[in-house]
Structure 1
Amino acid sequence: MTARRLLPLAIAAVVAALTLSGCSVINDILPKPAETRDSQTGEIVGGGTTNVFTLAVGDCLNDESSSDEVSEVPTVPCTEPHTYEVYGEVTIPGDEWPGDDALTQQADDGCYAQFQPFAGIAYEDSTLDFNYYTPTQASWEEMNDRLVTCVIFDSGATTGSLAGAAR
């Protein structure tokens, strides 16, 4: 066969494989729409996919990923139900990768310190909890990533901000 005849067969094979493998493959290939932000305030006004390096305090998201490494998260306006809200940031000092344990400790300490000022209640007295996104060794070394992003959450979905929730 000539190359011209092989190309249509190859295209047909790819289409058949995608059709047989289901929508999840197609969803993984298609680009995801980015969030829409208010040009004045920077607040998310339309949900979409947000790069974790561009998350900002006040952003609300629905990250249900079970992966250890996350590069994008689904964000929504805080007026819509969401599972997490960015409430703080911690910059980890130093040039050398501190290691996972030291990085986790610094992230935990830094996010803990910002919890009460944001939530309006001490962490120990709160029904809310926190977690964080930390740099990976690769992002630390290749992208000079030193930022920990702190997220606050309730046991279920939240509508509105948890700032000053005092619960």
Structure 2
Amino acid sequence: MSDVTSTPAVPLIRRRILASGAVLSVLLTGCGGPGGAEEVVGASPPSPAVTAEATSIFQLSPGQCFDRPAAEGLYEVAVVPCEVSHDLEMYALFQLDDPAWPGDAVVHQQADQGCHEQFITFTGTEPAQSDLGYTMYTPSEGSWSEGDRQVQCALQFNSGGRMIGSQMAGPAAG
């Protein structure tokens, strides 16, 4: 565990992910997270005994651990057991309910609010009290017009390091 204080505000980064004609924008938001997790710094691919399963980012469920896509614009991620070093852990999925496209700023605000609330539920910790932050995968205007309203929230270390193990709070963390 580091004694360095993490900064609560990290610049917003946007990427576009193309999948089956739908575009999903990725918004990265820096927040804190539970400090008891082991952090692995640097690239540490899974050992040869562990097989990463290529999965569409749209098919991930809470509790699944995965690595970032290898190239810009890819929507396929390598899902690995959480016990193996990994970049991200999906922790929440939810739907936005606006019937018409509300705009990028509103989608970002609603996604950030939902991911923040679910962060606390999943980790048992306020983001500002944590070494973890989260990444939000949100619908774009184009995918919205095709019926996409899903927001995906994934945990990551604020430092950019890799995690080992699930970050889900245990029963005693309450």
Give yes or no for TM over 0.5: yes
The count of residues paired between Structure 1 and Structure 2 equals 120
Q: How does 1:1-167 map to 2 (within 5 A)?
A: 46-64=51-69, 67=72, 70-142=74-146, 144-154=147-157, 155=159, 156-164=161-169
Q: Quick one: which amino acid aligns to residue 81 of structure 1?
A: S
- Structure 2: any 5+ residue segments left out of the alignment? 1-49
Greater helix fraction, Structure 1 or Structure 2 = 1
Bigger RCO (CA 8 Å, 6+ sep): 2
Q: Does the CA-based 8 Å contact 1:52-1:70 persist in structure 2?
A: no
- Aligned equivalents of 1:120, 1:96: Cα separation in 2: 34
Q: Unaligned 5+ residue runs, structure 1?
A: 1-44
> If the length of structure 2 is used for normalisation, what is the TM-score?
0.63
Q: CA RMSD in A?
A: 2.0
Aligned to 1:11: none
Q: What is the CA–CA distance in structure 1 between the aligned matches of 2:70 and 2:141, rounded to whole Å? A: 20
Identify the range of structure 1 (70-79 vs 149-158) with the bigger mean alpha-carbon deviation.
Answer: 70-79
CA distance in 2, matches of 1:78, 1:148: 22
Bigger proportion of residues as strand: 2
Separation (CA, whole Å) in 1 of partners of 2:97 and 2:51? 34
The whole-number CA distance in structure 1 between the counterparts of 2:102 and 2:69 is: 27
1:102 Cα deviation from its structure 2 partner: 0.7
Shift of 1:139: 1.5
Q: Distance in 1 between matches of 2:102 and 2:54?
A: 30
- Following superposition, the deviation at residue 107 of structure 1 comes to 0.6
Shift of 1:55: 0.9
Supply the AA of the counterpart residue of 2:58. Answer: F
CA contact (8 A) 1:115 1:122 kept: yes
